[in-house]
Amino acid sequence: MASASATTPTLPSTQTVWKIVRKGVPAKALVKEENAPVPKKIPKGNVLVKIQAASLNPVGYKMMRMAPNSFLKRIAEYDFAGEVVDANGNLQFKVGDQVFGSIPVGESFKTGQGALAQYTYVPAKATAHRPEGITPNEASGIAIVALTAYTALYHIGKLEAGQRIFVNGGSTSVGIYTIQLAKALGCKVYASASGKNEEFLKSLGVDEFYDYTKQPIHEALVQNPPSSKFDVIFEAVGHAYIPLYTHSEAYLAPNGTYISVGPTPDGFSETLSLLWNFFMHPKWAGGTKRRFEILRINKTGELLDEIAKAITDGKVKPVIDSVYKFEDVLSAYDKILTGHARGKVVVEVS
């Protein structure tokens, strides 16, 4: 979205932020700090953004739970939408530009910056112009989950028109983008969620729905495999779900790929069985004969522009579960921690 004005605004010297100060659940880990400094020295390659909205991601609370000491005393969360207030010499942005993006977790470690702030600086390469026709609240929830869906579909799965994908966790925010992008590509999409989300997922274009509360999904797929096996299985819940992989020869094509968003860092036994299956019990020793990949986002800048274009072209629509005020951040965390939000949990900052 183009800038309304190129005049550098006068910035306050202090601001309100939500800071991680100790390890634990959000209610224990976070404090609201009302006199935090507004950053003055912006490192090269970063822009200063006045935050309009921030969206929560599971990585936010997972990091609080397992935070090493070096991770403390920094502002929480990563995904944002806002307005550039200091372009800091980055030629692709100017003051007043309406933007969205995500502070990479590693950057947040280094700089202490986060999205639950009134002002934050963010790498220009992790920032893009907000597409026309969507609100800051909608834009705030795009970056991490859309980058994840893009990485799974295009970089790892290399999905092509006419192929079949199974999305475990179709109503996760990651799943919602994956389904829409796969449908836009012309694929047949199968997805799981609890029964209450069946109509919603079908409205996104899902061809076949599986209710995980009725029967374990791998059992349903073994008993009733698709007429042609899947080209990609994307495990988008984040609980490893080992049996979905270990039974996959029944429903994943021999040259297909099983992609996992990764087990929860605190799911110790799942992580152990994952390690056992993939490193101690390889294919030659009778392990599952299917390619397995754990997803890592490794590209941001240009991809965010592509995602913005997909939104402008109407291929993808952001979905919001709920919106909270800046002072109600802890209630927003209560919602995402249920594990049953349908779309993004948004915090309105200004």
- Interface residues with ligand NAP (CB under 6 A)? 57-59, 144-145, 148, 168-169, 171-174, 192-194, 197, 212, 236-238, 261-262, 295-297, 336, 339-342
Percentages helix, strand, coil for the chain (3-state, rounded to 5) are: 35, 25, 40
- Closest CB to ligand NAP among 95 and 149? 149
Closest to ligand NAP by CB, 48 vs 189, is 189
Interatomic CA distance for residues 225 and 95, integer angstroms: 54
Residue among 13 and 338 whose Cβ is closer to ligand NAP: 338
Q: How far is the CB of 172 from ligand NAP (least distance, A)?
A: 3
**Residue closer to ligand NAP, measured from CB, 93 or 190:** 190
Shortest Å, Cβ 200 to ligand NAP: 9
Residue 50 to residue 241: CA distance in whole angstroms = 40
Sheet of 30-37, strand order: 30-37, 14-20, 74-75
Residue nearest to ligand NAP (CB): 238
Amino acid at 326: F
Q: How buried is residue 136: exposed, middle or buried, by Cβ count under 10 Å (0-12/13-18/19+)?
A: buried
219, 192 Cβ separation under 8 angstroms: no
Q: What six digits make up the tokens of 36?
A: 């935090």
In the complex, what is the shortest distance from the CB of residue 295 to ligand NAP, in angstroms, rounded to a whole number?
Answer: 4
Which is nearer to ligand NAP, 154 or 212 (by Cβ)? 212
CB of 96 to ligand NAP, least distance (A): 30
| Structure tokens, 213 | 């509360």
Q: Any idea what the Cα angle at residue 293 is, between residues 161 and 109, rounded to 5°?
A: 115
Q: How far is the CB of 198 from ligand NAP (least distance, A)?
A: 9
